[in-house]
Amino acid sequence: MPFVREEQIVKVRDGSSFTERRFTIRRTRHGPVMNDMYPGLFPSWAPPVTIQREPGELSSSIDQFGLANRATSVASLRHALLGVGTPLAAWQAADRTGTIALFATGTIPVRRKLRGTRRLRRCSS
């Protein structure tokens, strides 16, 4: 399975001006290669890691972030963020009543026959 390479340009503030940083991200039909997006997260010997997401998750995530933005308590914030389609995220929150929380959200695929990593056949870098 060949990779498609995408060049990403990110503008980073440097005082009163911006500096452009360029990144090349490989992408497969399963999604972007996480090894490229987060250098140093995986060991150098690790195979390419991708996380396939459903297209509809993005639109529901935007709605859920809107609800999270209007949350008035830790409980309502947690309820809103549980619907966000992220692989995994950790959130810290506090509200006016003194409730403080740290909670995780996200979805991780469960595969009966795989540990979550495997080499892809016919990969080319």
Task: Give me the residue spans of the domains in the chain.
Answer: 1-52, 56-105
Output the CATH code of domain 1-52. Answer: 2.30.120
Q: Decide: pTM greater than 0.75.
A: no
- Give the DSSP letter string of 27-66: EETTEEBHHHHSTTSS-TTPPP-B----THHHHHHHHHHH
Taking each helix axis from N to C end, the angle separating 74-81 and 56-69, rounded to the nearest 10 degrees, works out to 170
Q: In tens digits, what is the pLDDT along the chain, a chain of 125 residues?
A: 678 898 888 888 888 999 998 888 888 887 788 888 778 888 888 888 887 765 555 567 778 888 999 999 999 999 998 887 776 788 999 999 999 999 888 776 666 666 556 665 555 55
**Rounded distance between C-alpha atoms, residue 54 and residue 56, angstroms:** 6
CA dihedral 71, 65, 85, 54 (to 10 degrees): 140
